[in-house]
Amino acid sequence: MLTYADIEQAAQRILGAAHRTPVLTSRTADQRSGAQLFFKCENFQRIGAFKFRGAYNALARFTEDQRRAGVVTFSSGNHAQAIALSASLLGIRSAIIMPHDAPALKVAATKGYGGEVIIYDRYKEDREEIGRRLAQERGMTLIPPYDHPDVIAGQGTAAKELFDEVGPLDVLLVCLGGGGLLAGSALAARALSPGCKVIGVEPELGNDGQQSLRKGEVVHIGVPDTIADGAKVTHVGDHNFDVIKRDVDDIVTVSDAQLVDAMKFFAERMKMIVEPTGCLGAAAALNGIVPVEGKKVGILISGGNVDLAAFARFVGAA
Ligand SMILES: *Cc1c(COP(=O)(O)O)cnc(C)c1O
């Protein structure tokens, strides 16, 4: 079982490679929520999302043999870029399995970072199966986007930096897809701010994590229809759920309309481009979905990778 010591070690490993991202505040956001909000801005992380942390931490632990054979992974986007960039920084070959409907920006960026891209059909093929086959055929090591201890430990360094900077918090709101960021954040919170309520936030139409927490076991759903493409996963990971069920207080959901509203807020008031999935935590605070009034609240903004045309469509609609 992962502990906070794993996150401390990950923080050492990624030091100098990952950016220490800023923590921003907004009086307007505070007024609207009635709380004191601290936004940890991983949209300013390398590759534009927190995923660089987990990917780099995992690859930095490779043995000589693993480095020589290379890494393979599957991802709807940000983990792909994270693996491709981390691998080239460490001199490792990478093969990335991406869905046919991944945003063009993410596919292009992954190739640009030196990754070999392999496209699959999200609705007809099983990416985990394709990944395992490639791993076998080429001797590559599979590093999945969330269900891996080194990935979880790396993702936890973002919340660690947040607590190191602003001290203990009453509530921490974390975007939830497969649970890498949430599990890592919960481990950091338990060690650095034991009284802090850790809450995962999912899209309404993809509430498998919420169902899982209530049921006490991992629940699988169909591919959710949501604009939060980073949270289009059908189930949380096993390693992730072990931590989530022990250390996470609750999982709530927000609507796509609330995500769009938060995207507009970030663009207009904070001058930031945040991708839909990155808005999950903020949407929960700004719409009173989690009671935050009078509280000191940390919000992980997970990423900022969104096609400009899609961004314009989202924020342009009145
Ligand atoms: C991957 C991702 C998430 C979800 O993270 P998990 O670790 O899978 O829960 C949220 N936001 C962005 C921007 C992502 O890339």
Would you give the DSSP letter of residue 230? G
Does the annotation count 76 as an active-site position?
yes
Closest Cα to atom 1 of ligand 1: 230
The pLDDT, as a whole number, for residue 122 is 83
Ligand 1 center to residue 181 CA distance, Å?
A: 7
pLDDT in 10s for each residue of the chain, 318 residues: 899 999 999 999 999 999 999 999 999 999 999 999 999 999 999 999 999 999 999 999 999 999 999 999 987 689 999 999 999 999 999 999 988 888 787 788 889 999 999 999 988 888 888 888 888 998 999 999 999 999 999 999 999 999 999 999 999 999 999 999 999 999 999 999 999 999 999 999 999 999 999 999 999 999 999 999 999 999 999 999 999 999 999 999 999 999 999 999 999 999 999 999 999 999 999 999 999 999 999 999 999 999 888 999 999 854
The pLDDT, as a whole number, for residue 154 is 98
Closest Cα to atom 2 of ligand 1: 230
The pLDDT, as a whole number, for residue 103 is 76
The pLDDT, as a whole number, for residue 99 is 87
The pLDDT, as a whole number, for residue 102 is 81
The pLDDT, as a whole number, for residue 318 is 47
Ligand 1 center to residue 81 CA distance, Å?
A: 13
Note whether 267 and 313 are within 8 A (CB).
Answer: no
Ligand 1 mutation pick, 45, 50, 226, 311, max ligand atoms within 8 A of CB? 50
Cα 39 to Cα 98: distance, rounded to the nearest angstrom: 29
Q: Per the residue annotation, which of 33, 76, 185, 193 is the catalytic one? A: 76
Alpha helices (H) along 39-77: 51-60, 64-69
The tokens of 214 are what? 């209530």
Judge if the beta carbon of residue 99 lies within 6 A of ligand 1: no
Note whether 263 and 315 are within 8 A (CB).
Answer: yes
Does the annotation count 51 as an active-site position?
yes
Judge if the beta carbon of residue 241 lies within 6 A of ligand 1: no
The tokens of 241 are what? 């759920």
Closest CA to 176 of 243, 119, 117, 109: 243
The pLDDT, as a whole number, for residue 90 is 97
Ligand 1 mutation pick, 51, 175, 226, 266, max ligand atoms within 8 A of CB? 175
pTM beyond 0.75: the answer is yes
Ligand 1 mutation pick, 43, 52, 152, 181, max ligand atoms within 8 A of CB? 181
Cα 299 to Cα 40: distance, rounded to the nearest angstrom: 6
Closest CA to 11 of 163, 151, 158, 180: 158
Q: How do strand 250-254 and strand 296-301 relate by DSSP bridges? A: unpaired
